Amino acid sequence: MELLVASGVGVLTAGGVWLILQGRSFSVILGLALLSYAVNLFIFASGRLAIGLPPILTKSTTGYTDPLTQALVLTAIVISFGMTAVIVVMALGAFLETGSDRVDIDDDSRDGL
């Protein structure tokens, strides 16, 4: 279980970093999405891995799993979802303005700035 989650986080992060380094807006956005999946999984695991336990304490339950990390993950998901929407719109705008989907800025377009 630990090995599965840890290697999941690792593979997602590695894939995300590789995609971000491609320098094209589509792969950068996908890379950022993969990174945010990795971090969501990591936050979830930071409350310790427990199988089949409820996040709520009642009189009949014997054990519980940390509910706070689930709330943190929820917040992180909402924020990364919103941010992905913003960068998609901005990348689309930049693509329509420049006709190129490169994220790096070449010297020609610096025009004296």
Partner 1 sequence: MGNWIIVPVLLPAVLAALIVLAARTDLVLQRVFSLAETEALLVLALALFRAAALDGPETYHLGNWPAPFGIVLVLDRLSVLMVLLMAVLAVPVLVYAVGSGWDGRGRHFHALFQFQLMGLSGAFLTGDAFNLFVFFEVLLIASYGLMIHGGGRARLQAGVQYVAVNLVGSTLFLFALATIYAVTGTLNMADLAVKVAALPPGDAALVRVAGVLLLLVFTLKGALVPLQFWLPETYARAPGPVAALFAVMTKVGAYATLRLYTLVFPPDTPATGLLFADLLLPAALLTLAVGAVGVLGARGLARLAAFAAIASMGTLFVAIAPFTPQATTAALYYMIHSTLAGAALFLIADLVLAGRGSDDLRQTLPPIRGEGLIASLFLATAIAVAGMPPLSGFVGKLLVLEATRAQMALVWPVILGTSLLTIVGLAMAGSALFWRSHSVANRDTAPRAAPPVLPLVAVGLLLALLALLTVFAGPVTDQLRLTADALYDPSGYIASNALAAPE
Write out the residues near partner 1 by the rule CB under 8 A: 20, 25, 28, 32, 35-36, 38-39, 42-43, 45-48, 68-69, 72, 75-76, 79-80, 82-83, 86-87, 90-91, 93-94, 97-98, 103-105, 109-113
Asked whether 71 and 82 are in contact (CB, 8 A), the reply is no
Q: Closer CB to partner 1, residue 54 or residue 84? A: 84
The SS3 call for residue 10 is helix
Amino acid occupying residue 60: S
Q: How far is the CB of 86 from partner 1 (least distance, A)?
A: 6
Strands (E), the chain: none
The answer to whether the CB of 43 falls within 8 A of the CB of 68 is no
**Is 54 or 94 the residue whose CB approaches partner 1 more closely?**
94
State whether residue 88 is helix, strand or coil: helix
Pick between residue 48 and residue 59 the one whose CB is nearest to partner 1.
48
